[in-house]
Amino acid sequence: MTSLRRSFLVFLLLAAIRQANADELSGRVVGVADGDTITLLDGSNRQHKIRLSGIDAPENSQPFGRASKRALSDCAFGKYATVLTEKTDRYGRQIGLVQVDGVDCNLRQLDLGLAWHYKRYAHERPLTETRVYCDAELLARKARVGLWADGKATAPWEWRKRHG
């Protein structure tokens, strides 16, 4: 099964699971801050900062940070997106599953080896999503794609501890 088709099927499944508890936002992606944060402009011209759920991407100053940001830009920037969001983080960003043209951008970052599955919050997400995201990271690691080509890749949460 192609990655695009798998992403679409996974998004449909996850959307069905989350729909009961999630708020849905839609609009154009007008900004990409890094590999796991976008700005969405809705139909009322309100901006929403969205932190992609289930993943943690390298910081911009970290190795592969620019590549991760570029990949998320390729997936979402300037495009119409639907976001399923359930909560807000301590920085005021909504945490969400971002879908563009049938592609789960969160999962795509994992498939490309440009983010870690953020296991710290896995208990807050549907089990099906957790399994899919975990498997995607494992496949990228085995294939040594993206940041997994670097045997010394440092997880963003470790990087933030060391670099403030």
Check if the beta carbon of residue 149 is closer than 8 Å to that of residue 55. no
Helix (H, G, I), strand (E, B) or coil at 97: strand
Neighbours of 158 (CB within 10 A): 11
Of the candidates 108, 158, 125, which has an alpha carbon nearest to the alpha carbon of residue 54? 125
d(CA 14, CA 12): 6
Among the options 93, 108, 125, 137, which is catalytic?
Answer: 93
Reference 98, options 107, 86, 87; nearest CA is 107
Please say if 93 is a catalytic residue.
yes
Query: Which one is catalytic: 5, 18, 28, 59?
Result: 59
Burial class (CB in 10 A: 0-12, 13-18, 19+), 142: exposed
Residue 51 annotated as catalytic: yes
Of 24, 28, 51, 158, which residue is the catalytic one? 51
Catalytic residue set? 51, 59, 93
